[in-house]
């Protein structure tokens, strides 16, 4: 049973943090939880909201039908009115006098949000200690902690005359944010350097990594994206494991450097967090519109890895794999994510991570007695610049051979995942996985999640051949994955079978179910 | 002049320096600079400076990393036997920033032209002066894009005629020495390519300096911008001075082909480097 909670208010009211705290508390209490964050391109004011979907079953999405609303301002009630139902419960801190409204009458200070959190937990029957523990851990040493604890104790002792039972498991669920997953994957892989230029929605990763820093690696924001990318290559040249991060527009600026990487074959991991484009687009919303530029951006011909995780646990594993492949083959590894993936929190029952040990470099710049050289020019086997036919051909053949070895190696990793049963096949990638899996319970179909985009798992032809109908679900307008499928398997997805959403918002399971049923899927 | 007898110690030192020169720095790569190009003088001065630094124990060969741009100057990557990377046009400074961040025990020596440094890479130039990482930038300033056949750069004199500006370029040039000083560079020098001894001296000082050192070398391009006569007759030696005087001195010449050009080390200061401020722990760790 899915239960949706809306938390809404102005930017600056601490909505995201409140949702963050609650999602961890729900996880501790045994709920599966999915936390969706929605915010505008401004600093204070406007309207921000989070939707928490909790359940006793795995949940990777939310629904636009709210069972409880925490309205931190009146505007929230106006903006979301279409999504309330007759039993929606409202928790507010202004007197409304209506049925289904709980007026907190809390102090309008920095502890206000804690009153909201407590009331919600009390009404849902969640043990006080779960909330206290989370708050104590999060705000340890902070001056507000005592006041927050007071507020929690006070509001737990109140009787709200409302009790909602939402079934849940007993075992703790691990709650993990998407960007946090990438951060853990990078640290796990022994990252030495992270460079990025501020750009939504990639910046959250920088914040997570900055917390993990502690004299293990160095993170910095150089003057522009071109610096970021070149500094990444430079750090790699000096023997460091380097990652750079950006969104679509910044990646465009880096493409010359991607080509530089292709020629110099210095390992480099790129974190690309997509948002809707083209151009400045819609900075704080989500899209899957940069798949092709991730796979092909950068002039000339050179090998690369593009991997698209679908939830925060996959973010850890695929980032680790990206570092592994970059180091092993001197290849560019792009971890392709989007706002919905990196800003959302996912929950997991079990958390065993398949870790791959990163190979150490045997020869490094600075070792006495060796000349360590790289060039952006075409070159001979000793990295002397060259225009000779034999050198050019030999160089190219080496790089083509390397790509073949990369293709072989990637086959050992999970390049795709297949779920469900049924004659129809639905193909998707990245952050649509959550809604897709949640929808699958109501569908007689299989879901094929493509994880590796480059090299591409050509063997999916098998699934396509055996399917009655093939659908592709994507957050873009031109069906970019369909194009990759056509290129790699020869199969053309019919236009009417492309389910495309490009309004900057993620799919809900209902969206997918409606669209598929319209097209004859049972 | 009284001639002093060379001591055995000095002889041995000189021999060692020569040995290092031969072993270290010669490469078998065919040189493609125009015969008579002052780049040969710059290469020679650089090799001498490196030999002296290594022979005297100030620097180890494996610490030095040559980082080159694109253009005639950058071919030095193939002509000097040191580890190095031939980077993208205008992007050698962020590349060096990365190298230093990756392993701060390395000393990047960047070679760029005026096109790469003051056109394509101007933002990086100003920021590199600001960051003060321990590295050296040597700019081959011939006031023109040579390898692409003679276009005006951001530091070409007003009125210069070339194919893309057949009626003469209308814009005035930047003054790189002023820009470097104003951006906080901790070592700023300008020399003429026609003076090998001075080039070697300044390069040595620049590479030994702990912080960002900027050496601008004014050179004629014998094909596209041959101001040999001007450079030969118009330079005068300056001595190191404080910041305000250095700025005043730097403003005296406006990069036209007229007037007098001050050459030497303008300004030097000791300041905590970027590495010391941002990742001191890496400096203590053996990489």
Q: What is the pLDDT of residues A85-124, one digit of tens each?
A: 999 999 999 988 788 999 999 999 999 999 999 999 999 9
Domains of chain A with bracketed CATH: 3-172 (3.40.920.10), 177-348 (3.40.50.970), 416-518 (3.40.50.920)
Nearest-Cα residue of chain A relative to residue B282: A215
Distance CA A223, CA B133 (A): 14
Number of A/B CB contacts below 8 angstroms equals 134
Instruction: State the average pLDDT over residues A253-262.
Output: 98
User: Would you call B127 and A223 a contact, using CB atoms and an 8 Å cutoff?
Assistant: yes
User: Would you call B106 and A385 a contact, using CB atoms and an 8 Å cutoff?
Assistant: no
User: Would you call B101 and A238 a contact, using CB atoms and an 8 Å cutoff?
Assistant: yes
Percent of chain A at pLDDT > 90 equals: 92
pLDDT value at position A43?
Answer: 85
Q: What is the largest CA-CA distance in chain B?
A: 62
Residue B20 lies in a domain: no
Nearest-Cα residue of chain B relative to residue A365: B83
B26 touches chain A (CB under 8 A): no
Q: Give how many domains chain B has, as a whole number.
A: 1
Is 90 exceeded by the pLDDT of residue A350? Answer: no
pLDDT value at position B2?
Answer: 46
Instruction: Tell me which H or E stretch contains A123.
Output: helix A112-123
Please answer whether residues A68 and A8 qualify as being in contact, where contact means their C-beta atoms are separated by less than 8 angstroms.
no
Residue B23 lies in a domain: no
Q: What is the pLDDT of residues A27-73, one digit of tens each?
A: 999 999 999 999 988 888 899 999 999 999 999 999 999 999 999 99
Residue B6 lies in a domain: no
Mutation site for B-interface testing, chosen from A219, A220, A225, A227 by largest number of B Cβ within 10 Å: A227
CB-hemisphere CA count at 13 Å for A17? 14
User: Would you call B102 and A384 a contact, using CB atoms and an 8 Å cutoff?
Assistant: no
Please answer whether residues A274 and A247 qualify as being in contact, where contact means their C-beta atoms are separated by less than 8 angstroms.
yes
pLDDT value at position B27?
Answer: 87
B61 touches chain A (CB under 8 A): yes
A363 touches chain B (CB under 8 A): no
The 8-class DSSP code of residue A432 comes to G
Residue B19 lies in a domain: no
Please answer whether residues B203 and B138 qualify as being in contact, where contact means their C-beta atoms are separated by less than 8 angstroms.
yes
Write phi, then psi, for B136 (nearest 5 degrees): -120, 140
Distance CA B48, CA A54 (A): 72
Q: What is the pLDDT of residues A326-338, one digit of tens each?
A: 999 999 999 999 9
Is 70 exceeded by the pLDDT of residue A414? Answer: yes
pLDDT value at position A115?
Answer: 96
Contacts of A218 in chain B (CB under 8 A): 101, 278-279, 282
- Residues 6+ positions from B37 with CB-CB distance below 8 Å: B72, B221, B222
Domain that holds residue B46: 36-269+278-284
Instruction: Tell me which H or E stretch contains B66.
Output: strand B64-68
CA A188 to chain B, closest CA, distance in angstroms equals 18
Distance CA A444, CA A406 (A): 36
The beta-carbon neighbor of A215 closest among B62, B67, B281 is B281
**Which parts of A66-182 are beta strand (E)?**
66-71, 84-92, 101-103, 174-177
Residue B7 lies in a domain: no
CATH of residue B41: 3.40.50.970
DSSP letters of A182-227?
Answer: HHHHHHHTT--EEEE---TTTHHHHHHHHHH-TTT-EEE--SSHHH
Average pLDDT, chain A: 95
Residue B262 lies in a domain: yes
3-state secondary structure of B267: strand
pLDDT value at position B8?
Answer: 75
pLDDT value at position B1?
Answer: 43
CA A215 to chain B, closest CA, distance in angstroms equals 7
Structure tokens at A456: 């591409």
Contacts of B97 in chain A (CB under 8 A): 222, 227, 230-231, 234
Interface of B with A in 112-171 (CB under 8 A): 123-124, 127
Digits of tens for pLDDT over chain B (287 positions)? 444 556 777 767 766 766 666 656 888 899 999 999 999 999 999 999 999 898 888 999 999 999 999 999 999 999 999 999 999 999 999 999 999 999 999 999 999 999 999 999 999 999 999 999 999 999 999 999 999 989 999 999 999 999 889 999 999 999 999 999 999 999 999 999 999 999 999 999 999 999 999 999 999 999 999 999 999 999 999 999 999 999 999 999 999 999 999 999 999 999 999 999 998 888 876 55
């Amino acid at each position: 049973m899915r239960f949706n909670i809306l938390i809404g208010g102005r930017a600056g009211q601490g909505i995201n943090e409140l949702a963050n705290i609650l999602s961890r508390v729900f996880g501790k209490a045994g709920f599966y939880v999915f936390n969706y964050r929605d915010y505008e391109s401004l600093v204070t004011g406007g309207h921000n909201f989070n939707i928490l979907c909790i359940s006793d079953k795995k949940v990777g999405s939310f629904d636009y039908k709210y069972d409880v609303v925490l309205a931190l301002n009146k505007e929230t009630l106006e903006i979301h009115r279409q999504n309330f139902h007759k039993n929606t419960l409202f928790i507010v801190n202004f007197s409304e006098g209506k049925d289904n409204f709980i007026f907190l009458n809390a102090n309008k200070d920095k502890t206000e949000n804690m009153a909201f959190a407590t009331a919600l937990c009390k009404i849902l029957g969640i043990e006080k200690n779960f909330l206290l523990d989370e708050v104590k851990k999060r705000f340890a040493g902070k001056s507000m902690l005592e006041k927050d604890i007071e507020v929690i104790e006070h509001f737990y002792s109140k009787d709200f005359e409302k009790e909602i039972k939402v079934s849940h498991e007993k075992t703790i669920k691990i709650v993990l944010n998407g960007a946090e997953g990438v951060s853990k994957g990078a640290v796990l892989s022994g990252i030495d350097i992270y460079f990025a230029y501020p750009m939504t929605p990639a910046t959250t990763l920088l914040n997570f990594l900055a917390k993990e820093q502690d004299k293990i690696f160095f993170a910095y924001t150089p003057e522009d994206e071109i610096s970021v990318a070149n500094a990444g290559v430079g750090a790699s040249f000096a023997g460091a494991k380097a990652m750079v991060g950006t969104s679509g527009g910044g990646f465009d600026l880096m493409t010359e450097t991607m080509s530089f990487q292709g020629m110099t074959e210095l390992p480099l991991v790129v974190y690309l967090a997509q948002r809707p484009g083209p151009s400045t687009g819609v900075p704080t919303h989500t899209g899957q519109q940069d798949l092709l530029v991730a796979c092909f951006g950068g002039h000339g011909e050179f090998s690369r890895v593009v991997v698209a995780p679908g939830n925060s646990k996959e973010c850890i594993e695929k980032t680790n794999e990206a570092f592994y492949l970059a180091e092993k083959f001197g290849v560019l590894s792009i971890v392709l994510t989007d706002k919905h993936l990196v800003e959302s929190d996912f929950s997991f029952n079990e958390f065993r991570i398949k870790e791959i040990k990163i190979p150490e470099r045997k020869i490094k710049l600075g070792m006495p007695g060796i000349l360590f050289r790289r060039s952006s020019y075409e070159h001979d086997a000793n990295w002397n610049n060259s225009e000779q036919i034999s050198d050019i051909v030999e160089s190219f053949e080496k790089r083509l051979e390397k790509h073949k070895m990369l293709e072989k190696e990637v086959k050992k990793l999970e390049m795709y995942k297949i779920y469900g049963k049924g004659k129809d096949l639905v193909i998707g990638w990245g952050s649509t996985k959550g809604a897709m899996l949640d929808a699958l319970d109501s569908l007689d179909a299989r879901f094929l999640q493509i994880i590796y985009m480059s090299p591409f798992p050509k063997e999916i032809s098998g699934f396509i051949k055996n399917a009655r109908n093939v659908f592709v679900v994507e957050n873009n307008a031109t069906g970019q994955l369909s194009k990759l499928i056509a290129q790699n398997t020869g199969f053309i997805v019919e236009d009417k079978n492309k389910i495309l959403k490009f309004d900057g918002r993620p799919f809900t399971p209902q969206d997918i179910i409606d669209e598929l049923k319209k097209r004859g899927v049972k | 002049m009284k001639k002093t007898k060379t001591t055995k110690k000095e002889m041995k030192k000189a021999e060692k320096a020569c040995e290092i020169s031969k072993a270290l720095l010669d490469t078998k790569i065919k040189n493609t600079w125009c015969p008579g190009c002052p780049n040969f003088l710059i290469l020679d001065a650089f090799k001498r400076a490196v030999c002296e630094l290594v022979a005297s124990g100030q620097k180890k060969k494996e610490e030095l990393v040559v980082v080159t741009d694109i253009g005639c100057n950058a071919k030095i990557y193939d002509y000097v036997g040191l580890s190095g990377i031939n980077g993208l046009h205008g992007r050698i400074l962020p590349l060096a920033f990365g190298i230093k961040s990756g392993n701060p025990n390395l000393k990047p020596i960047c070679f760029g032209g005026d096109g790469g440094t003051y056109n394509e890479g101007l933002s990086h130039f100003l920021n590199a002066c600001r960051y003060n990482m321990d590295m050296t930038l040597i700019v081959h300033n011939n006031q023109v894009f040579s390898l692409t056949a003679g276009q005006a750069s951001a530091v070409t004199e007003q009125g210069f005629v070339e194919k893309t500006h057949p009626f003469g370029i209308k814009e005035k040039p930047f003054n790189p020495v002023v820009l470097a000083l104003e951006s906080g560079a901790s070592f700023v020098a300008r020399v003429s390519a026609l003076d090998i001894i001075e080039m070697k001296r300044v390069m040595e000082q620049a590479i030994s300096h702990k912080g960002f050192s900027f050496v601008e070398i004014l050179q004629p391009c014998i094909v596209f911008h041959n101001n040999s006569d001007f450079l030969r007759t118009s330079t005068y030696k300056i001595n190191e001075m404080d910041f305000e005087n250095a700025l005043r001195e730097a403003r005296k010449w406006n990069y036209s082909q007229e007037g007098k050009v001050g050459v030497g080390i303008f300004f030097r200061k000791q300041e905590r480097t970027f590495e010391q401020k941002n990742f001191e722990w890496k400096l203590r760790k053996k990489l």
